[in-house]
Structure 1
Amino acid sequence: MADRMLNVGVVGCAAIAQRTTIPALVADPSVRLVAVASRSRDKAEAVARRFGCEAVTGYAALLARDDIDAVYVPLPPALHAEWVARALAEGKHVLAEKPLAVDRAEAAELVAAARVAGLLLMENFAFLHHGQHDAVRALIDEGAIGEVRHLTAEFGFPPLPPGDIRHDPALGGGALLDAGVYTLRAASLYLGPQVTVQGAVLRTDPGAGVDVAGAALVSDPTGRTAQLTFGFDRSYRCACTIWGSEGTIGLDRAFTAPPNLRPVLRLQRQDHLEERTLPAGHQFASLVSLFARTALDGGDLKRPGEDILRQAELVDAVREAAGRDAAVRDSVTYSRSSR
């Protein structure tokens, strides 16, 4: 594969993409970054100079190029459906920022389009490709904490600036789609793909117009549970704890470990606490490498689509449960106030 290159274009110039995935694309020996596109010519040129590629004005112009095999789409969530679909229609493999779609209906259309075209469609959950989660799974498999009973996953950070796109419902804003999706994906990772949502709460800030915090309780068919909490109205926390019949395993930077960080894994049993400093890992580089290998070598194109659909189902289920539970709470409050 050393002499084969995946020619990639980037649809959008999001700041987070410039910090994480675009540098990983540039650094991967099997990837050639051909061009970046923005609606603003000046912005496209600035990003292109930074990463040594061509600047394109307009997303459609980039997708029409025949020297691009795949695209990375870091647009706001509500824009994914249109531009991912158009990329697939142009015969491009697609790596899209999470969440790939705002609901399962959108996800199903995109996954179906990718399958019909025989193209790779992958969602950018980079944390899944960090070695710290391999270390956790290895400990679980060897019985270090007995049988898994419960998972706690938390991802939250301080309030965003008023003009941040995550406050805009028209762009797919809100804490569920921004932070909550990480905790849902962690539940599937550790409890399996058959987890279901049993209850949920979403708290909306009237000033923001979107949900700014939430929580969900999920379970698998055997009765194992997970408590998931998220929001952008609190101090920073990015943790995951697996609670077993004989101990616990915890990570403090479960979703956002930077490349130079050596994560600390905490293994606790009855009278024993062990802290293991793990090797640093570049989760975005690992994800990009997997994406490129799969696209170039014709690997498993079906599994990423299944993961996308399952994740979107869980997002829909949290919304549905939150609405149902809110109605119950309102009913109880009304009942008590009427006495």
Structure 2
Amino acid sequence: MAKDTIVWGVLGTAKINDKVVVPMHAAAACTVKGIASRTAGKAQAAATKYGLSTAYDSYEALLADPEIDAVYIPLPNHLHMEWAIRCVEAGKHVLCEKPIGLNAEQAERLIDARDRTGRYIQEAFMVRTHPQWIKVRSLVEEGAVGDLMAVTGAFTFYNVNPHDIRNNVEIGGGGLLDIGCYPITTSRFVTGREPTRVAAFINRDPSFGVDRLGSVLMDFDGIHATFFYSTQIHNYQRMQFHGTKGRIEVEIPFNAPNDRPTRLLLSQRTSTGVNEERWLELPVCDQYAIAATVFSEAILSGNRQAIPLEDARANMNVMDAILQSAQSGAEVFIREI
């Protein structure tokens, strides 16, 4: 009898589990069996909180469980590559929080591990399977804004907590890896292209050393995409796609709500030269549940996953170029992969 459900384990008790674990447990083709921590008490508290049957007192104990098919990794950034490799070597598929690694070289090592073990590894960019982003891409492809010319975006929040891992440069903290990666992946997704060059400015926190503000220009072979990100500005996020005949604005592009519809503003120039605007609503959904379902179904069917590791490597490649540009003060041409 064919298997119809992927049994999941969660590697770590990170705060993001509050958004992910319950929707994943309820999602189609998924069930979450248990959660692991290096501390038994933390694992048990998390298992109780999320209604899971099993608490593992070590990461190794979870990987040794033969009932676990796939592992969700919400660990700090510097641990992503190591534990993703350990998971696939233990025979488990992996859905790993973004960023998939600290740089493109680490993404390349994960591709090698995937090919060697035959297990899937996917970066958990939940936005990429959200219906609102699939709709944005289809609207652009259908010519709703004419010829796409420019993309603009922003993603910011305010966090100066010295104990927050996102403010620890030694373990992969900083704004680009945490939130700057979102305008990059969505720009790549909607344009269907890879940027050929980038230019960037970055401001670093004098105490933490992490990048707290970045401004980026990406050239997608004639389509210009600009965005800024910050970990020390009031909360804000928006993405816009500007064409010769119109504009699409994504109201809540990244932290999409799961309790109300998401909305896209479509502005189009009429034959009389007047801009007509209308809001398009997408049905209520949970983007974490969708991401888990799509990945689980790919495992069950053996089909190509929604976000292959080659895509994650390409996104890391852009981030590497952004850091290089900010350091050198010059534009950087992105190498071919």
Q: Same fold (TM over 0.5)?
A: yes
Structure number with higher helix proportion: 1
Alignment partners' CA distance in 2, 1:254 and 1:302: 19
Alignment partners' CA distance in 2, 1:295 and 1:265: 32
**1:306 alignment partner AA:** E
Give yes or no for contact 1:119–1:301 (8 Å, CA) kept in 2.
no
**Among residues 264, 284, 303, which one is paired with 2:288 in the alignment?**
284
Alignment partners' CA distance in 1, 2:29 and 2:117: 23
Moved >3 Å (runs of 4+): none
**2:137 alignment partner AA:** R
* TM-score of the aligned structures, taking structure 2 as reference length: 0.92
* C-alpha distance 12-215 of structure 1, shift in aligned 2 (>3 A): same
Give yes or no for contact 1:64–1:90 (8 Å, CA) kept in 2.
yes
Give yes or no for contact 2:156–2:229 (8 Å, CA) kept in 1.
yes
Deviates more, 1:262-271 or 1:177-186: 262-271
Indicate the percent of aligned positions where both proteins have the same amino acid: 33
Alignment partners' CA distance in 1, 2:7 and 2:259: 28
The answer to whether 1:24 aligns with 2:23 is yes
How far 1:297 moved relative to its partner? 1.5
How far 1:196 moved relative to its partner? 3.1
Alignment partners' CA distance in 2, 1:67 and 1:144: 47
Alignment partners' CA distance in 2, 1:82 and 1:289: 25
Deviates more, 1:58-67 or 1:105-114: 58-67
Gaps of 5+ in 2: 332-337
Q: Which residue matches 1:226? A: 225
How is 1:1-339 mapped onto 2 (pairs within 5 angstroms)? 4-17=4-17, 19-51=18-50, 52-221=52-221, 223-270=222-269, 271=274, 272-300=276-304, 304-325=308-329
Deviates more, 1:288-297 or 1:255-264: 255-264
How far 1:193 moved relative to its partner? 3.6
* C-alpha distance 160-258 of structure 1, shift in aligned 2 (>3 A): farther
Alignment partners' CA distance in 1, 2:21 and 2:214: 30
**1:252 alignment partner AA:** E
Question: How many residue pairs align between the two structures?
Answer: 325
Q: Tell me the secondary structure at the aligned position of residue 111 of structure 1.
A: helix
How far 1:3 moved relative to its partner? 5.5
Q: What's the C-alpha RMSD, in Å, of the aligned pairs?
A: 1.8
How far 1:161 moved relative to its partner? 2.1
Q: Tell me the secondary structure at the aligned position of residue 288 of structure 1.
A: helix
How far 1:283 moved relative to its partner? 1.1
| Deviations 1:172-231 (CA, angstroms, capped at 9, x unpaired) | 10000001011111121122242134201111011122111101110122x111002111
**2:182 alignment partner AA:** Y
Q: Tell me the secondary structure at the aligned position of residue 236 of structure 1.
A: strand
| Deviations 1:275-331 (CA, angstroms, capped at 9, x unpaired) | 23332222111100011011112111596111111111111111111111189xxxx
Give yes or no for contact 2:216–2:228 (8 Å, CA) kept in 1.
yes
| Deviations 1:74-121 (CA, angstroms, capped at 9, x unpaired) | 001101121111111111100000001010111100111112211111
Q: Which residue matches 2:335? A: none
